[in-house]
Structure 1
Amino acid sequence: MENPAIKVRRQINYWRPVLQKTVTYREVELNETVKIRRRQISVKHCYWVPLTADLADMEAYLLPLDDPDWNTRRDWQNYRERYQILSGAAVKKSRTTYGLSGREMAAIIGISHSSLSEIENELVLQSDEQDSLLRLAQNRLAFAALVRKRRASLTEAFDEARYRAILAKVQA
């Protein structure tokens, strides 16, 4: 029995090492509602369903076999677009525009270096507060003001000479 809400995109032959054989799948697409940070968004998800399976039993096949994170990345991408959250590439571009290291940028924003790296590589979705601070980096005057305001924490994290070098980079 076919489900009209499910759109078949293509047929895929995929080698299954555990089974030691090639299995044929239908790549299907359907609209689903997901919740991200208490907000619901509608997103098109893709799944692989064995050619022999009934599409009415979709719940049994929840992940694309070749890229299990594909739907999650798509959810976050749609969330970023809908709520105007900076992409990891935009965050990295702001940082590199000033010539700042990841540790310097993270210290200015007030997050860990690993958190900034995860944001830049889109492994996590930054909070609204983090996004607001990261957006300041897109405005040279506002970002320089933030660096000046955070002088005490930056000189504690680094030293006075490095703080002056950071401030010079963002004011240039």
Structure 2
Amino acid sequence: MKKRFYNPELNSYDVYEEVWISERVNVKDEKGLLVKNHYWKDSSGELWADFDNPMENVYESFKAYRKKKSFLTPNQIKGIRNDLNLSVREFANILGISSSTLTKIENNHRIQTKYQDQLFKLVALNKNNLNNLVSTNNDDAINNINSSVKENKYFIKDSFYNEDKSSYEIYGINRDIGVIA
């Protein structure tokens, strides 16, 4: 497809040809993720990011990273929060993260950490019970969630509980659903 665009960097109009190129990208700790990037090629052969959506290729890289790590998508995270009828601020307070971080994750401007992704998954697994666990005090909410889930071998914060409470590891493993932290 060809399309005429105004290029503000060149201060001129030109006809650009749409091209898709499979490229290897590095995102955080993952090297060489294969992503199909979208460009517009000008008459001299130079590639330009989409003029209407300049972050498109970055978002595709984030998507590839989340898929590789089996992380939740921004829409899934937002869906969990909406299912609980919580505002961004309320949900962030319960999770112990800043509301600006949660907003950036939900808007796909930032990739969640492994720890944050595990918190989101924990809440998703327990969202039917979470309405009874949530309080206005963040420490109370975390303690309620902790006591609710430790018998199920789920983690909260940075602990892993086994049946006899003798093992504690940073992050941990949820054996019941097979998520390796």
TM over 0.5: yes
Q: Does 1:80 align with 2:71?
A: no
Query: Quick one: which amino acid aligns to residue 20 of structure 2?
Result: E
User: Where does the alignment leave 5 or more consecutive residues of structure 1 unmatched?
Assistant: 1-9, 156-162, 168-172
Partner of 1:24: 15
Partner of 2:37: 45
Distance (whole Å) between structure 2 residues aligned to residue 90 and residue 29 of structure 1: 27
1:61-84 Cα shifts (integer Å, max 9, x gaps): 342223211100111112222222
Distance (whole Å) between structure 2 residues aligned to residue 17 and residue 36 of structure 1: 28
Conservation of the 8 A alpha-carbon contact between 1:136 and 1:143 = no
Tell me how large the CA RMSD over aligned residues is: 3.0
Q: Which has the larger radius of gyration?
A: 1
Q: 1:107 to 1:44 in 2, by over 3 A?
A: same
Query: Quick one: which amino acid aligns to residue 19 of structure 2?
Result: V
Conservation of the 8 A alpha-carbon contact between 1:107 and 1:154 = no
Distance (whole Å) between structure 1 residues aligned to residue 104 and residue 91 of structure 2: 13
Calculate the TM-score normalised by the size of structure 1.
0.69
Distance (whole Å) between structure 2 residues aligned to residue 22 and residue 151 of structure 1: 55
Q: CA deviation at 1:44?
A: 1.0
- The structure showing larger relative contact order (alpha-carbon pairs under 8 Å, at least 6 residues apart) is 1
Q: CA deviation at 1:46?
A: 1.6
Calculate the TM-score normalised by the size of structure 2.
0.66
Partner of 1:106: 92
Partner of 1:158: none
Distance (whole Å) between structure 2 residues aligned to residue 134 and residue 17 of structure 1: 40
User: Where does the alignment leave 5 or more consecutive residues of structure 2 unmatched?
Assistant: 146-181
Tell me the matched-pair count. Answer: 141
1:97-153 Cα shifts (integer Å, max 9, x gaps): 112222221112110011111111111111111000011111127974xx57x9974
